Amino acid sequence: MSLAHIEQIDQSARLLFSEQQVSDALISLSEKINLDYAEKNPLIICVLIGGLYTFTQLISKMHIPLQMDYLHASRYEGKTSGQTLSWKAYPNFNLKDRHVIIVDDILDAGITLKAIVDYSFTQEAASVATAVLLDKVNARASEGLAHADYTALSIDSGDYVFGSGMDYQDYLRNKPGIHAIQPMTTS
Protein backbone atom coordinates (compact mmCIF):
# COMPACT_ATOMS: atom_id res chain seq x y z
CA MET A 1 0.00 0.00 0.00
CA SER A 2 1.61 3.25 -1.09
CA LEU A 3 1.19 6.53 0.73
CA ALA A 4 0.30 8.12 -2.60
CA HIS A 5 -2.67 5.73 -2.86
CA ILE A 6 -3.79 6.60 0.69
CA GLU A 7 -3.50 10.32 -0.09
CA GLN A 8 -5.53 9.84 -3.28
CA ILE A 9 -8.27 8.03 -1.35
CA ASP A 10 -8.27 10.76 1.29
CA GLN A 11 -8.42 13.62 -1.22
CA SER A 12 -11.14 12.07 -3.38
CA ALA A 13 -13.41 11.08 -0.48
CA ARG A 14 -16.79 12.64 0.12
CA LEU A 15 -17.55 14.10 3.57
CA LEU A 16 -20.61 12.44 5.12
CA PHE A 17 -20.42 13.87 8.65
CA SER A 18 -18.23 16.71 9.89
CA GLU A 19 -16.11 16.48 13.02
CA GLN A 20 -18.70 18.66 14.80
CA GLN A 21 -21.59 16.43 13.70
CA VAL A 22 -19.72 13.39 15.02
CA SER A 23 -19.02 15.14 18.33
CA ASP A 24 -22.63 16.27 18.72
CA ALA A 25 -23.92 12.77 17.96
CA LEU A 26 -21.60 11.23 20.56
CA ILE A 27 -22.72 13.77 23.17
CA SER A 28 -26.34 12.79 22.49
CA LEU A 29 -25.43 9.10 22.68
CA SER A 30 -23.61 9.55 26.00
CA GLU A 31 -26.63 11.34 27.47
CA LYS A 32 -28.88 8.39 26.61
CA ILE A 33 -26.45 5.89 28.13
CA ASN A 34 -25.99 8.08 31.23
CA LEU A 35 -29.76 7.98 31.79
CA ASP A 36 -30.18 4.27 31.08
CA TYR A 37 -27.21 3.10 33.18
CA ALA A 38 -27.13 5.62 36.05
CA GLU A 39 -27.74 2.94 38.69
CA LYS A 40 -26.24 -0.09 36.93
CA ASN A 41 -22.45 0.24 37.32
CA PRO A 42 -21.83 -0.71 33.67
CA LEU A 43 -18.73 -2.30 32.26
CA ILE A 44 -17.95 -0.44 29.04
CA ILE A 45 -15.89 -2.56 26.64
CA CYS A 46 -13.99 -1.09 23.69
CA VAL A 47 -13.68 -3.20 20.55
CA LEU A 48 -10.13 -2.58 19.31
CA ILE A 49 -8.92 -1.09 17.07
CA GLY A 50 -11.76 0.72 15.35
CA GLY A 51 -13.86 1.33 18.45
CA LEU A 52 -11.08 3.19 20.26
CA TYR A 53 -12.04 6.65 18.96
CA THR A 54 -15.75 6.19 19.71
CA PHE A 55 -14.95 4.67 23.11
CA THR A 56 -12.67 7.49 24.27
CA GLN A 57 -15.00 10.20 23.01
CA LEU A 58 -18.02 8.51 24.56
CA ILE A 59 -16.63 7.78 28.02
CA SER A 60 -15.23 11.31 28.33
CA LYS A 61 -18.84 12.52 28.19
CA MET A 62 -20.27 9.96 30.61
CA HIS A 63 -20.84 11.05 34.20
CA ILE A 64 -21.88 7.83 35.89
CA PRO A 65 -19.85 5.24 37.79
CA LEU A 66 -18.45 2.75 35.28
CA GLN A 67 -15.55 0.45 34.61
CA MET A 68 -13.66 0.14 31.35
CA ASP A 69 -12.18 -2.82 29.52
CA TYR A 70 -11.30 -3.82 25.98
CA LEU A 71 -11.30 -6.74 23.63
CA HIS A 72 -9.79 -7.26 20.22
CA ALA A 73 -11.82 -9.18 17.68
CA SER A 74 -11.85 -8.46 13.97
CA ARG A 75 -12.86 -9.84 10.60
CA TYR A 76 -10.98 -7.28 8.52
CA GLU A 77 -7.25 -7.51 9.28
CA GLY A 78 -6.42 -4.50 7.09
CA LYS A 79 -8.79 -5.55 4.32
CA THR A 80 -11.94 -3.79 3.14
CA SER A 81 -14.18 -6.86 3.31
CA GLY A 82 -14.76 -9.23 6.20
CA GLN A 83 -12.99 -12.54 6.62
CA THR A 84 -13.13 -15.12 9.43
CA LEU A 85 -13.47 -13.64 12.93
CA SER A 86 -10.18 -13.53 14.78
CA TRP A 87 -10.05 -13.00 18.58
CA LYS A 88 -6.77 -11.41 19.69
CA ALA A 89 -7.79 -10.42 23.23
CA TYR A 90 -10.75 -11.20 25.44
CA PRO A 91 -11.99 -8.81 28.16
CA ASN A 92 -9.99 -8.85 31.40
CA PHE A 93 -12.95 -8.27 33.73
CA ASN A 94 -15.29 -11.05 34.75
CA LEU A 95 -18.57 -10.37 32.90
CA LYS A 96 -20.73 -12.47 35.23
CA ASP A 97 -23.74 -10.46 36.48
CA ARG A 98 -22.43 -7.24 34.88
CA HIS A 99 -24.30 -4.80 32.67
CA VAL A 100 -22.00 -4.73 29.65
CA ILE A 101 -21.92 -2.10 26.91
CA ILE A 102 -19.87 -3.04 23.85
CA VAL A 103 -18.56 0.04 22.00
CA ASP A 104 -17.45 -0.19 18.36
CA ASP A 105 -16.96 2.16 15.46
CA ILE A 106 -19.41 0.72 12.95
CA LEU A 107 -22.20 -1.79 12.60
CA ASP A 108 -22.17 -3.07 9.04
CA ALA A 109 -22.60 -6.82 8.48
CA GLY A 110 -22.98 -7.23 12.25
CA ILE A 111 -21.11 -10.53 12.41
CA THR A 112 -18.34 -9.31 14.73
CA LEU A 113 -20.70 -7.54 17.13
CA LYS A 114 -23.06 -10.54 17.19
CA ALA A 115 -20.15 -12.83 18.12
CA ILE A 116 -19.08 -10.43 20.88
CA VAL A 117 -22.62 -10.18 22.27
CA ASP A 118 -22.96 -13.98 22.18
CA TYR A 119 -19.60 -14.37 23.93
CA SER A 120 -20.66 -11.90 26.64
CA PHE A 121 -23.80 -13.89 27.36
CA THR A 122 -21.78 -17.13 27.58
CA GLN A 123 -19.80 -15.35 30.30
CA GLU A 124 -23.12 -14.80 32.14
CA ALA A 125 -23.40 -11.03 31.72
CA ALA A 126 -26.61 -9.68 33.29
CA SER A 127 -27.26 -7.63 30.17
CA VAL A 128 -25.39 -6.72 27.00
CA ALA A 129 -25.94 -3.60 24.93
CA THR A 130 -24.09 -2.34 21.88
CA ALA A 131 -23.14 1.24 21.05
CA VAL A 132 -21.74 2.28 17.67
CA LEU A 133 -20.72 5.52 16.06
CA LEU A 134 -22.10 4.56 12.65
CA ASP A 135 -24.77 2.12 11.54
CA LYS A 136 -24.70 1.08 7.87
CA VAL A 137 -28.35 0.06 7.91
CA ASN A 138 -28.40 -1.72 4.54
CA ALA A 139 -25.24 -3.77 5.09
CA ARG A 140 -26.52 -6.37 7.58
CA ALA A 141 -25.73 -10.03 7.02
CA SER A 142 -28.54 -12.45 7.85
CA GLU A 143 -26.41 -13.98 10.61
CA GLY A 144 -25.28 -10.59 11.95
CA LEU A 145 -26.56 -8.43 14.78
CA ALA A 146 -29.83 -6.91 13.58
CA HIS A 147 -29.30 -3.49 15.18
CA ALA A 148 -27.24 -1.67 17.79
CA ASP A 149 -28.89 -0.62 21.02
CA TYR A 150 -27.27 2.81 20.78
CA THR A 151 -26.38 4.44 17.47
CA ALA A 152 -24.86 7.89 17.04
CA LEU A 153 -25.18 8.21 13.25
CA SER A 154 -26.46 6.10 10.36
CA ILE A 155 -26.21 5.83 6.59
CA ASP A 156 -28.07 3.68 4.11
CA SER A 157 -25.51 3.71 1.31
CA GLY A 158 -23.06 0.95 0.45
CA ASP A 159 -20.12 3.36 0.48
CA TYR A 160 -16.95 2.34 2.24
CA VAL A 161 -16.32 4.81 5.07
CA PHE A 162 -13.32 5.99 7.04
CA GLY A 163 -12.39 8.57 9.69
CA SER A 164 -13.26 8.97 13.37
CA GLY A 165 -11.73 5.56 14.12
CA MET A 166 -12.83 3.76 10.96
CA ASP A 167 -10.04 2.84 8.59
CA TYR A 168 -9.21 2.33 4.97
CA GLN A 169 -6.71 -0.56 4.94
CA ASP A 170 -5.44 0.41 8.42
CA TYR A 171 -4.99 4.09 7.47
CA LEU A 172 -7.08 7.25 7.91
CA ARG A 173 -8.58 6.31 11.30
CA ASN A 174 -7.34 9.67 12.56
CA LYS A 175 -9.15 11.69 9.89
CA PRO A 176 -11.73 14.00 11.54
CA GLY A 177 -15.32 13.40 10.49
CA ILE A 178 -16.67 10.47 8.50
CA HIS A 179 -15.85 10.18 4.81
CA ALA A 180 -17.02 7.88 2.01
CA ILE A 181 -15.26 6.43 -0.99
CA GLN A 182 -16.92 4.64 -3.86
CA PRO A 183 -17.01 0.83 -3.40
CA MET A 184 -15.07 0.25 -6.62
CA THR A 185 -12.00 2.08 -5.24
CA THR A 186 -11.61 -0.20 -2.21
CA SER A 187 -9.99 -3.16 -3.98
Q: Are 153 and 54 in contact (CB under 8 A)?
A: no
Among residues 105, 108, 135, 167, the one annotated as catalytic is 108
Beta bridge partners of 15: 179
Closest CA to 150 of 79, 76, 61, 75: 61
Active site includes 108?
yes
Residue 184 has a CB neighbour count (10 Å cut-off) of 7
Closest CA to 136 of 171, 112, 120: 112
Residue type, 142: S
Report the C-alpha gap between 124 and 128 in whole angstroms.
Answer: 10
Residue type, 110: G
What are the catalytic residues?
108
